[in-house]
Amino acid sequence: MVPANNASGNYFMGRPNGYDSMQDQVSVVSLLTTLGTVVVNSAGTVCTSDAPAGASAITVDFKVGTQSFSLVRNGQTVLTGTSLKAIQNNCPCGLENFNSYVGTVPLDSTTHCSLTALIT
C-alpha cells in the first residue's frame, strides 16, 4: 500500500485493528406470522432453516458473490429478494473499513413477514 492524500481524514495504511476477529457470516432475522423455511443462498451455497412464528435468527458462513434470501411455506416461495450489495473479495475504494451491511426483504411493508440480513 502506498501513502495517499489524507485530506478527507478517512485514510489509513493497511488493515484496521480487529480485522482478524471479523466473522465472515450472514445473519438472517425472520419476523413471521406463521412458521416457514428460511433459505439463504450465499453465492451458490444454499442453507435452509425452519423458522417458527415470531422472531428468530440464523447465521451462515458467507461466500464471495451475490446473497439472496427467501421464505418458503408449504413448498411455495412466498418471499424472495437479493441483496443490493454483493460480497466482494477486494476493496474497490481502497479502504478496508469492515462496515456491516443490512438489507430487508421485502423492501416495502405490505406483507405480513420479513427477513432482515446482517452481513459481517
Spacing of C-alpha 52 from chain mean position:
21
Is the per-residue pLDDT at 11 higher than 80? no
Q: What is the tally of helices (H) and strands (E) in the chain?
A: 0, 8
What integer pLDDT is reported at residue 36 of this predicted model?
Answer: 95
What integer pLDDT is reported at residue 25 of this predicted model?
Answer: 86
**Segments making up each domain of the chain, as ranges:** 23-119
Is the per-residue pLDDT at 120 higher than 50? no
pLDDT tens, residue by residue, 38-91: 999 999 999 999 999 999 999 999 899 999 999 999 999 999 888 888 888 776
How far, in Å, CA of 59 to CA of 48, rounded?
10
Average pLDDT over residues 16-43: 85
Spacing of C-alpha 94 from chain mean position:
21
